[in-house]
A and B are shown apart, each in its own frame.
Chain A
Amino acid sequence: MAVLMEVKNLVTRFYTQEGIVYAVNDVSYNLQEGETLGIVGESGSGKSVHALSIMGLIPSPPGKVEGGEVIFRGRDLLKLKSEEMRLVRGAEVAMIFQDPMTSLNPVLTVGTQITEALKLHLGMSSSAANARAAELLDMVGIPDASKRLDNYPHQFSGGMRQRVMIAMALSCNPKLLIADEPTTALDVTIQAQIIELVKRLRDELRMAMIWITHDLGVVAGLADTIQVMYGGRIVERGPVKEVFSDPRHPYTLGLLKSLPRLDQNRKSSKLIQIEGAPPDMRYLPQGCSFAVRCPYKKDKCEVERPPLETIREAEGQHLGACWVDVREGEPQRG
Chain B
Amino acid sequence: MVSPTSNPAAVKTDAQGREAILQVRNLKKYFPILSGIVFQRQVGAVKAVDDISFDVYKGETLGLVGESGCGKSTTGRTILQLYKPTSGSVQFEGRELSTLPNEELRRMRKRMQIIFQDPFASLNPRMTVGAIISEPLVIHRMYSNKREQQEYVENLMERVGLNPFYINRYPHEFSGGQRQRVGIARALALKPTFIVADEPISALDVSIQAQVINLLADLQQELNLTYLFIAHDLSMVRHICDRVAVMYLGKIVELGPTDEVYENPLHPYTQALLSAVPIPDPMAESKRQRIILTGDVPSPARPPIGCNFNTRCPVHFELCHHDPDPPLLEVEPGRWVACHRVSEI
Residues of A that sit less than 8 Å from B by CB: 42-43, 157, 159-160, 187-193, 195-196, 214-221, 240-241, 244-245, 251, 254-256, 258-266, 269-275, 277-278, 293
Inter-chain contact A214/B205, CB cutoff 8 Å? yes
Inter-chain contact A261/B234, CB cutoff 8 Å? no
- Residue in B68, B175, B238 whose CB lies within 8 Å of A260: B238
Inter-chain contact B210/A273, CB cutoff 8 Å? yes
The 6 closest A-B pairs by CB, nearest first: A217-B278, A260-B239, A192-B276, A187-B67, A221-B285, A216-B280
Inter-chain contact A220/B67, CB cutoff 8 Å? no
11 A-B pairs (CB sep. < 8 Å): A188-B234, A189-B272, A190-B67, A192-B275, A215-B278, A220-B280, A244-B281, A244-B282, A255-B207, A264-B238, A277-B177
Chain A contacts for B208, CB-based, 8 A: 277
- Is residue B46 within 8 Å, beta carbon to beta carbon, of the partner chain? no
Question: What is the distance, in angstroms, from A179's C-beta to the closest C-beta of chain B?
Answer: 15
Decide: A262 near B277, CB < 8 A? Known: A271-B210, A273-B214: yes
Inter-chain contact A220/B281, CB cutoff 8 Å? yes
| Interface SS of chain B | helix
Report the Cα distance A244→B281, complex, angstroms: 6
- The residues in B between 179 and 215 inclusive whose CB is less than 8 angstroms from any CB of A are 205-211, 213-214
Chain B contacts for A42, CB-based, 8 A: 205-207
- Residue in B175, B213, B292, B296 whose CB lies within 8 Å of A160: B296
Other A-B pairs beyond A187-B68, A188-B67, 10, CB < 8 Å? A189-B276, A189-B293, A217-B279, A220-B278, A262-B277, A263-B262, A265-B259, A269-B221, A270-B214, A270-B217
Inter-chain contact A188/B276, CB cutoff 8 Å? yes
Inter-chain contact A262/B273, CB cutoff 8 Å? no
Scoring B232, B239, B262, B283 by chain A CB atoms within 10 A of each residue's CB, the highest score goes to: B239
Report the Cα distance A302→B89, complex, angstroms: 59
Chain B contacts for A260, CB-based, 8 A: 235-236, 238-240
Scoring A42, A244, A254, A263 by chain B CB atoms within 10 A of each residue's CB, the highest score goes to: A263
Report the Cα distance A245→B282, complex, angstroms: 9
Inter-chain contact B276/A191, CB cutoff 8 Å? yes
- Which residue of the partner chain A has the closest CB to B272? A189
- Is residue B274 within 8 Å, beta carbon to beta carbon, of the partner chain? yes
